[in-house]
Amino acid sequence: MPRIPVVRTIVCFGDSVTQGTPVVAEEDAFPALLGRRLNARGARRGLSFRVINSGVGGENTDEGLARFDRDVAAYSPDLVVVEFGLNEARYDAKARTYEEYGVSLRRLIARLRAISAEIVLTTPNPIIDACHVYSRGVLFYARRGGCNRHVAGYAEVARKVAAEEGVILCDLYRLFEDEALAAEFAGETDEYADLVTLTPFIRHDDGVHPTVRGQGLIALGLYRTIVRSFPRLFEAAGT
């Protein structure tokens, strides 16, 4: 009889960066890219990966928590990728302080542990201020040194929470920032920190959402993190 593959379930839980659409096609969003790569690896080991896209555009972590049972726990996931933080950096009703964001991340980690899911926490990706229309001329961001500097604070909160809670971190902020630094090294810019060279990875018309290439960068970072940090996910039953 043919061998029945062992199925591992991964939920990608986050905002519009996770959702992907309508900025990129569903098949080009990082959950789909990650799923294809994990299944290619798993096929050699009698494993199948079901990767669920539970991203909803415009949400902060609190709004994600409100749909946790339906969009995360209902799938009985082996592992959950948590990607929030950009909407906390808004200046409207979605905004949350760094402290509030940290509290919400800890609540989410506690709920994931209650369902025995492995966790990968990400930092938000950076914002290209020069391309981010509503961050220019808004006093809220001017007082914070710009929108991206404000987002960098949420990235630092995610790093701190991951370290203190003992969960695995995939640092998307630094992943993108490293691409800008590589561009400076290659002589493509005199100053990587303005992140303008990231337009192949982050849409030039909004400065926030990853392009197809940016989604691929996220998928690669997560693939690297999962393969290295969770080898047990790739063990077939009985091994």
Rg (alpha carbons) of the chain, rounded to whole number:
18
For 101, 215, 235, the CA distances from 91, given in Å and listed in that order, are 14, 25, 45
Where helices occur in the chain by DSSP H, the ranges are 16-19, 30-43, 61-66, 68-71, 98-114, 139-142, 147-165, 172-185, 212-229
pLDDT of residue 60: 98
Q: Is residue 132 in some structural domain? A: yes
> In the predicted model, is pLDDT for residue 191 greater than 70?
yes
Task: Work out how many domains the chain is built from and give that number.
Answer: 1
Structure confidence at residue 1 (pLDDT) = 43
Q: What whole-number percentage of the chain has pLDDT above 70?
A: 96
- Both tokens assigned to 67: 């749909």
83, 15 in Cβ contact below 8 A? yes
Which of the pair, 96 or 139, is modelled with greater confidence?
A: 96
Specify the pLDDT at position 107. 98
The yes-or-no verdict on residue 2 having pLDDT over 80 is no
Please name the residues in contact with 84: beta carbons below 8 A apart, sequence gap of 6 or more: 14, 15, 59, 60, 61, 64, 101, 104, 105, 124
pLDDT for 237: 55
Asked whether the predicted pLDDT for residue 5 surpasses 90, the reply is: no
Residue 163 lies in a domain: yes
Distance CA 211, CA 118 (A): 28
| Percent of the chain scoring above 90 in pLDDT | 88
Residue 24 lies in a domain: yes
* 219 within domain boundaries: yes
7-44 pLDDT tens trace: 999 999 999 999 999 999 999 999 999 999 999 999 98
Q: Which two tokens stand for residue 234?
A: 């790739």
pLDDT in tens, 131-171: 987 776 678 888 888 999 999 999 999 999 999 999 999 99
Would 239 be classed as within a structural domain? no
Mean pLDDT of 174-183: 98
For 60-73, what is the mean pLDDT? 98
Task: Please state, in angstroms and rounded to a whole number, the distance separating the CA atoms of residues 63 and 56.
Answer: 9
Q: Give the pLDDT confidence score for residue 4 in this predicted structure.
A: 61
Q: Which structural domain, as residue segments, surrounds residue 191?
A: 6-234
- Does 232 score more than 80 pLDDT? yes
Residue-level pLDDT at 133: 77
**Is 220 within the bounds of a domain?**
yes
Who has greater pLDDT, 140 or 55?
Answer: 55
Q: Is the pLDDT assigned to residue 3 strictly greater than 80?
A: no
The rounded distance, in Å, linking the Cα atoms of 103 and 147 is 22
For residue 49, tell me if it sits in a domain.
Answer: yes
88 in a structural domain: yes
pLDDT (average), residues 190-218: 97
Residue 202 carries which DSSP code? Answer: B
- Whole-number Cα distances in Å, 193 to 108, 150, 222: 32, 14, 24
- Pair of tokens at residue 54: 């539970």
User: Crossing angle of helices 98-114/147-165, nearest 10°?
Assistant: 40
pLDDT given for residue 139 in this prediction: 84
Q: What is the CATH number of the domain that holds 166?
A: 3.40.50.1110
**Closest by alpha carbon to 35, among 237, 215, 228, 229?**
215
